[in-house]
Amino acid sequence: MAIIERPTDTPALARVGGGLVTPTTSYGYFRRPVQSTGWRSWAFTVDHKKIGIMYGAVAMIFFFIGGFEALLIRLQLAQPDGTILSADKYNQMFTMHATTMVFLFVMPMAAAFANYMIPLQIGARDVAFPRLNALSLWTFVFGGIFINSSWFLGGAADGGWFMYAPNSSVPFSPTNGVDFWTLGLLMTGVASQVGAINLIVTALNMRAPGMTLMRMPIFTWMALVVQFLLLFAIPIITVALFLLLFQRNFDATFFSVADGADPLLWQHLFWLFGHPEVYILVLPSFGIISEVLPTFSRKPLFGYPFVVFSGAAIGLVGFGVWAHHMFASGLGPISVAVFSVSTMAIAVPTGVKIINWTLTMWGGKLWFSTAMLFAIGLIVQFTLGGLSGVTHAVAPSDTQQTDTYYIVAHFHYVIFGGAVLGLFSGMYYWWPKVFGKMLNETWGRWNFWLMIIGMNLTFGPMHIIGLQGQPRRMYRWTENRAGEGFFNLGFWNLVSSIGSLILGIGALLFLVNIWVSRKNPPAPADPWDARSLEWITTNPPKEHNFDRTPTIHSLDEFFHRKYEDVGEDGQHEYKQVRTGEQVIAEEEAHADEHIHLPSPSYWPMILSLGLLVICYGVIYSFLVIAVGAAIVILALFGWALEPSTADDSEFDPPSDGGQPSKELAHV
């Protein structure tokens, strides 16, 4: 019998309790927001699952904003002498497209998966610091809104996503756009930093009994590596952003070459963050498909320890390759040689992963679900991107390709073909887990194929365009420079633009799929015959995740509870002995008593709001900064003085007339 010490609105609880417990009204506005329904139950929640869903939903909105910006760019370049965008608007468009996709879509979408899945995959009831988790979410949301509000307040940032100095200083970018960008990224940086600390502590400290590090599901492993990357990369960009902020607002000269500044300081600081960032983007997707491929190949992941350690190796070496972004800046032959070699070296652990995935599928009984298609798509497309990446490691070749469309082709193959396809794979795979409904597989296939065709048509021709010498970030190209024959720039630009429309439609089909799937019947408990711990609970999971804290006996715990090894003479042969439903029912039958869950809180959102006010204050008025700072200080003290679990007295007495209590229901 489980005693849930917090109001929930599942019918079973309502039936037993004879009415839901509501927050008491005796403390005016400052009562704890313990509602379990309505918008408050989302806005002030500290439940990692709700926070994960909100992370994902907001990231999805930014995905379509960023996609719209990309379509405008491609429309402009479809024909010679494009007139859709002015040069100024074009600069803002590519800057914000990249900023949105990197910081406001892929990172938070990966955070959504990490937030939702890590506690479930390690057998915990929530993250280590639930209120900090809410703080991460709202700081990211407000940061994203802040950056995008610049469109309506004088123009967005226009220096490109790596915002090279001195192009980012006031004479070259006189609007407030760069300031919005700087402050907004500081905010999302706070979100990532807090989230990283939170999730590392969760994954290291809150594992269920028996879950050793080498029994951790592979997605949790990859997400853990990513959190370490964030932990050490975010402070570096924080320094760079502060220096830029002081340069633009307080007339410091950190990046003014005329005043004796070093022109490479910004580049080093940025790429010392920026290259680990690349792995921050792609490793979560590696983790996702390392869950998807074994499930749909009906085989364990080939060489789990190799996948773990190659992931960790990528994380480590990822801090030692940043200067390959700067081969054209005149670093000197020794630096170039060192970074050239280290860049080639990082292809090794990545190659190890590709081999592991391929061998996982080898000889398996493949089930080509949409999730599996996206996972295979990742392997193929990412490998293509990796191959063009190796050509960048060769410095002489790279100096030819620097700032051409060849670079654009490369990083879209690795980021779209790697990170984004993996995230979509995860979406299809875990949708029934998160929402209790399957997504439609037919629409899923359309979604997949249109995206794959679209991305290859969009980014494939960019290799040709780039090697022909079209520079990136030029707002128009002219007919008389387009060349002739097969390598005519005009033709391939048009193909690329048509491809981007197909890609856009393909991505929209995902929304269509969510819409057509909204009335699907409840998904079975174990729709994919899955392997890892997050499936040993209902779909969607209960508020307290697990009725009984699971005890872990092996990697792929769920699989081994369903299947037993009946092979002889060292041969493995697995026979199903239980269904997923039976495993879950067994857990429910032995539910824990006295499950404590942290209570919702106003303070995380108020604290984030204070940060938002401070950011507007930096741009507009010091008075506003003072207001924001007051809000932040109020929120900090409110937070520190508030117990993380609400008091009995904050709930109204149950309707049957008993004493007010946190023990709300007996299941």
Q: State the residues that interact with other proteins by CB under 8 A.
A: 27, 30-32, 122-126, 128-131, 193, 196-198, 200-201, 204-209, 211, 231-236, 238-240, 242-243, 246, 250-254, 259-262, 265, 269, 549, 592-598, 637-638, 640-650
> Which residue's CB is nearer to other proteins, number 205 or number 391?
205
Q: How far is the CB of 238 from other proteins (least distance, A)?
A: 6
Contact 477, 493 (CB under 8 A): yes
Q: How far apart are CA 14 and CA 9, in angstroms?
A: 6
**629: phi then psi, degrees, rounded to nearest 5:** -65, -40
- Here the tokens at position 468 are 């022909």
Q: How far is the CB of 224 from other proteins (least distance, A)?
A: 12
- Here the tokens at position 58 are 């907001």
Q: Is there a cis peptide before residue 600, judged by omega within 30 degrees of 0?
A: no
Q: How far is the CB of 516 from other proteins (least distance, A)?
A: 38
The alpha-carbon radius of gyration of the chain (Å, integer) is 26
Long-range CB pairs of 477-484 (<8 Å, 24+ gap) are: 477/77, 477/80, 477/81, 478/80, 478/81, 479/80, 479/81, 482/80
Q: How far is the CB of 195 from other proteins (least distance, A)?
A: 12
Strand partners, 437: 522
Q: How far apart are CA 119 and CA 372, in angstroms?
A: 24
* Secondary structure, 3-state, 225-238: HHHHHHHHHHHHHH
Q: How far is the CB of 606 from other proteins (least distance, A)?
A: 11
Q: How far apart are CA 146 and CA 187, in angstroms?
A: 9
Q: Which segments of 517-577 are extended strands (E)?
A: 563-565, 574-576
Q: How many CB atoms lie within 10 A of CB 657?
A: 6
Q: Which segments of 21-92 are extended strands (E)?
A: none
> Which residue's CB is nearer to other proteins, number 103 or number 273?
273
Nearest to 173 by CA among 242, 91, 99: 91
> Which residue's CB is nearer to other proteins, number 117 or number 124?
124
Q: How far is the CB of 457 from other proteins (least distance, A)?
A: 41
User: What totals of helices (H) and strands (E) does the chain contain, helices first?
Assistant: 21, 4
Q: How far apart are CA 130 and CA 600, in angstroms?
A: 9
Q: Which residue has the tokens 């997949």?
A: 448
Nearest to 370 by CA among 452, 301, 434, 287: 452
> Which residue's CB is nearer to other proteins, number 422 or number 598?
598
Strand partners, 522: 437
Q: How far is the CB of 284 from other proteins (least distance, A)?
A: 19
Helix (H) or strand (E) holding 350: helix 333-361
Nearest to 616 by CA among 190, 149, 135, 96: 149
Q: How far is the CB of 187 from other proteins (least distance, A)?
A: 16
> Which residue's CB is nearer to other proteins, number 205 or number 399?
205
Q: How many CB atoms lie within 10 A of CB 573?
A: 10
**394 Cβ partners below 8 Å, 6+ apart?**
340
Q: How far apart are CA 265 and CA 614, in angstroms?
A: 27
Nearest to 554 by CA among 252, 130, 214: 214
> Which residue's CB is nearer to other proteins, number 16 or number 239?
239
State how far the alpha carbon of 176 is from the alpha carbons of 96, 359, 477, in Å: 14, 52, 28
Q: Which residue has the tokens 């009831």?
A: 125
Q: How far is the CB of 244 from other proteins (least distance, A)?
A: 12
Q: How far is the CB of 389 from other proteins (least distance, A)?
A: 26
Query: What is the largest distance, in Å, between two alpha-carbon atoms of the chain?
Result: 86
> Which residue's CB is nearer to other proteins, number 205 or number 576?
205
> Which residue's CB is nearer to other proteins, number 122 or number 427?
122
Nearest to 475 by CA among 68, 70, 94: 94
Q: How many CB atoms lie within 10 A of CB 231?
A: 16
Q: How far is the CB of 46 from other proteins (least distance, A)?
A: 9
Q: How far is the CB of 275 from other proteins (least distance, A)?
A: 14
> Which residue's CB is nearer to other proteins, number 316 or number 505?
316
Q: How far is the CB of 541 from other proteins (least distance, A)?
A: 15
Q: Which residue has the tokens 């307290």?
A: 544
- DSSP conformation letters of 158-178: -STTTT-TTTTSTTT--SSHH
Q: How far apart are CA 622 and CA 285, in angstroms?
A: 42
Q: How far is the CB of 236 from other proteins (least distance, A)?
A: 5
> Which residue's CB is nearer to other proteins, number 234 or number 613?
234
Taking the CA atoms of 396, 397, 401 and 407 in sequence, report the sign of the dihedral they define. negative
Q: How far is the CB of 609 from other proteins (least distance, A)?
A: 16
Q: How far is the CB of 129 from other proteins (least distance, A)?
A: 6
